[in-house]
Amino acid sequence: QGRDLRGQLTLSNELMGLYRKLGREEDAMTFVARALELLPRAEEPDSVTAGTTWLNVATVYKAFGRPAEALPYYEKARQVYEARLSAEDPRRGGLYNNMALALTDLGRFSEARAAYAQALEVMAHAPHGAWEQAITELNLADLAAAEQGLLEGEGEIEDRLDRAWTLLDCPRADWNGYYAFVCEKCAPSFTYFGRFADGEALKQRAEEIYAGA
């Protein structure tokens, strides 16, 4: 209402993320288009906000099964983040993780592994970075299954699952809402690969934390 272009861009970014999570593709794409139309009028093309907008756009395309369309936006976000953010900024780790997911979908496995390696390096220095590294290790298990198949990739898959479990195994005193979110996110991967007890344990941890909150 106030003709605030930056405010409109922020709102468009939030709404595309909301509709992505709700699975409402048409609504999400409406705000993708709106954000891309606003961006050159509201921000410099090399600003962190521009990079974040491109990352959000890419994530919408990836979420709705369009990784080839997502990748150019990931590349644009990468150029900005690597120029503007420190090498230890966790936002860079999130970008590398998401970009690697799209590369995996496209069968570009060596590039995906390189991006995951970058994510692991960034998150080694981030607060609660071990939990983020656990997510990346599970993503690498998925990559091994996609690249090699479940039987041929079994050794690497089990190794990645073991690493993820070790990274998630923290003292109860450190459990918080974000840890619950990570447990909830990781549990299905353990279950998918047949580690039912581990998946159930993570699910129960999340439920316990949420109940206590």
- 122: confidence class by pLDDT, cuts 50, 70, 90: very high
Give the residue among 148, 90, 93 at the shortest CA–CA distance from 116.
93
Phi, psi of 50 (to 5 degrees): -65, -45
d(CA 115, CA 119): 6
Rg of the chain over Cα atoms, rounded to whole angstroms, equals 18
d(CA 183, CA 177): 10
d(CA 160, CA 153): 11
d(CA 207, CA 205): 5
What pLDDT score was predicted for residue 3?
Answer: 87
- The more confident residue out of 2 and 178 is 178
What pLDDT score was predicted for residue 50?
Answer: 96
What pLDDT score was predicted for residue 2?
Answer: 84
d(CA 211, CA 213): 5
DSSP 88: T
Q: Which amino acid is at 7?
A: G
Q: If you search the block for the tokens 């003292």, which residue do you land on? A: 171
pLDDT exceeds cutoff 80 at 213: no
Reported pTM? 0.91
